[in-house]
Amino acid sequence: MRKSLLITFLISVIAFSFTTKQEYQKIHIIPQPESVDLKKGYFTFNTETRLFLPEEFLKDLATYMTEKIINDAGINVSVAKCDHSVSKNMILFEKTDDSTFGNEGYQLEILSDKIVAKANTYAGIFNAFQSLRQLIPANARQFPGKSVRIPCLVIKDHPRFEWRGLMLDHSRHFQPKEFVLKQIDVISSYKVNKFHWHLTDDQGWRIEIKRYPNLTTKGAWRADRTGIHWWSREFAKPGEPMPIGGFYSQEDIKQIVEYARIRNVEIIPEIDLPGHSKALKAAYPHLSCRQDLLFEVSTGGRSPNNTICAGRETTYEFIDGVIAEIAELFPSKYIHVGGDECNKNDWTVCPECNKRLKENHLENFEELQSYFITRINSLVTQRGKTMIGWDEIMSGKGTPGAIIMAWRRNRYSPEVDAPRAGYQTIQASYTESYINNHQGPAYLEPEAPRGIIPLRKVYDYEPIPKVLTEEEAGRIMGTQVCLWGEFTPNPGICELMLYPRVLANAEVGWTRPLLKDWKRFQYAVEENFIRLERDKVNFSRSTYNPMITFTADTVQKIAVVQIVPDSDIHDLFYTVNGTDPTTKSPKYKAQFTAGLNTVVKAAIFNKKGLLLGNIVTQKIEIIKK
């Protein structure tokens, strides 16, 4: 037994040394920095190393940095304000005034006897620390209290975009406060700085508004339809128990906002108006155009009559009360008001809405929507905030002064139309950035909407359309990925959908296109898989699951088969006889022909022969409709 333990220990030491050597050869930081100048030698990080911070940041960052270094390296480091009498075995964060750094940029210099990071702002110092963390070998914590070697180098870095975001929808499925805190912690380590929080929709109102208690006593709960497909659920019946849901108290919100502030993450709340408001109408039915109907919080996808009345003045008074409390709770300069997918059927039969239309000389109900959104915009700006809305708020007469979140594509082109019309624009393309979609072969994935958005598709997205002028392109604030909540019933599935695609978008938002490299990114992701696993973050390995497609010739009874890997840094093997592929099977190099009813199997292996993902199976057959 003792001999076995000794062998295990020696293997661990060898593995640790190998990882450190690999780190010297390749720097795996996500997102890729602006420049990395690798030098000779190492800085040795040990229990005697001291960390110094500007005094003004000590209160916020000392505890955070201490905890992260213990977590990442297993070393308890002393943190204090800057002491110029110490010159060796130290990590020094300095606040400077260098115009090249901007608001979030930094310089990180690692010498053999010290580490010096310089930045103009809190955000820059925070970002420098995140890069330093990723230079610590991912397996360093296996040896707590031991020294860690970090390669000498100079990093100069700043982000491409100011907006590098993640949207989480907790209206469809409520997630606990602890889960929200965990995700903010994870995304901040990849320099994601905006957390767009979708808090209200047809299936639940998730934020306490003290002025209107029914929003959470009634609007935060729905009937149980667990196990029934989201789009096939029956409506709730009056008097039926409503056990599914939850909400964040104002005290919860304050804790989350403060936690995010320390991590350089700005939380942008969204209340979805005037559509997607079934939970709001269930709580306060007088906001509906249809006083002849009874409303319950929606149980799933079908939510007719979910638009609030745009005609009654009481609607605007009510929303003003909601915005007042939200503006007080969230220090962000932004409030998102939705504005998407507004079904106007109820408006067309509502006397109050028709009266409002005529009194304001509006030509149609699209213009009534822009009237509504413009009124809401004035309520937001009165409180010193800037309004964001989905791209539908450009309909009718638009909403001057608002920021457009451009999500639609194909039939629509808001990614171009919004900046051309003078709007500041955030790109959130549903074809590249909606990570509630599958990320690999659908039969191996959790339930999700149709469509596949694999890791590479997220990574390859370019937020600035080529057709824009330089001035128009300057209105693109950045990009974000969106995880809608219809098919994320628990934290585990949420995280599985988030990672590693959040990492890909982090690099899209931070790194200039010329510096992006898919092959380098894949190696970096694999290194960060170790970190995510260490930190008990669920993540998907779908990038290792190849897609098998074919084009069949029913006359000749053959098919041309293609196997498309998302990951291309490892070997892909396949079989056509129904057996599981191994490293001794044919290596896939190009498309091939196979007879109908052939069973093709494919899998990705690393150089050591380890299966990295799943064995993917596809029968070459014609499905008769």
The partner residues of 245 in beta bridges, in order of sequence, read 221
- One-letter-per-residue 3-state SS of 326-366: HHHHCCCCEEEEECCCCCCHHHHCCHHHHHHHHHCCCCCHH
Q: Where are the CATH 3.20.20.80 domain residues in the chain? A: 163-534
506 near 532, Cβ under 8 Å? Answer: no
Token duo for residue 209: 């508004």
Q: Which residues contact 89 (CB under 8 A, 6 or more apart)?
A: 44, 46, 48, 49, 50, 113, 114
**Choices 2.40.110.10, 3.30.1180.20, 3.20.20.80, 3.30.390.50: CATH for 163-534:** 3.20.20.80
CB 26 within 8 A of CB 137: no
For residues 405 and 373, what is the distance between their CA atoms, to the nearest angstrom? 14
| Residue in 109, 157, 169, 201 annotated catalytic | 201
Fold of 545-619: Immunoglobulin-like (2.60.40)
The closest alpha carbon to 270, from 387, 396, 157, 114, belongs to 387
Residues of the chain with pLDDT under 50: 1-25
Task: Please tell me the distance from the alpha carbon of residue 368 to that of residue 361, in angstroms, as a whole number.
Answer: 10
Intervals of CATH 3.30.379.10 along the chain: 2-157
How many CB atoms lie under 10 A from the CB of residue 482? Answer: 21
In this predicted structure, what is the pLDDT of residue 97? 96
| Other Cβ atoms within 10 Å of 316 Cβ, number | 16
Secondary structure, 3-state, 505-523: HHHHHHCCHHHCCHHHHHH
Residues of the chain with CATH 2.60.40: 545-619
pTM metric for this prediction: 0.94
201 has catalytic annotation = yes
Share of the chain above pLDDT 70, in %: 96
Reported as a single tens digit per residue, the pLDDT across 65-111 is 999 999 999 999 999 987 777 889 999 999 999 999 999 999 999 99
Q: CATH says 2-157 is which class?
A: alpha beta
- Please report, rounded to a whole number, the percentage of residues in the chain having pLDDT higher than 90: 90
Q: Which of 341, 460, 535, 571 is catalytic?
A: 341
Task: Of 89, 90, 84, 131, give the one whose Cα is nearest residue 107.
Answer: 131
What is the predicted pLDDT for the residue at 17? 33
Q: Which of 28, 173, 198, 276 is catalytic?
A: 276
Q: Is 425 exposed, middle or buried (0-12, 13-18, 19+ CB in 10 A)?
A: buried
**Which DSSP category does 62 fall into?**
H
Active site residue 341: yes
Alpha-carbon span 166 to 388, nearest angstrom: 15
C-alpha count within 13 angstroms, C-beta hemisphere, residue 207 = 23
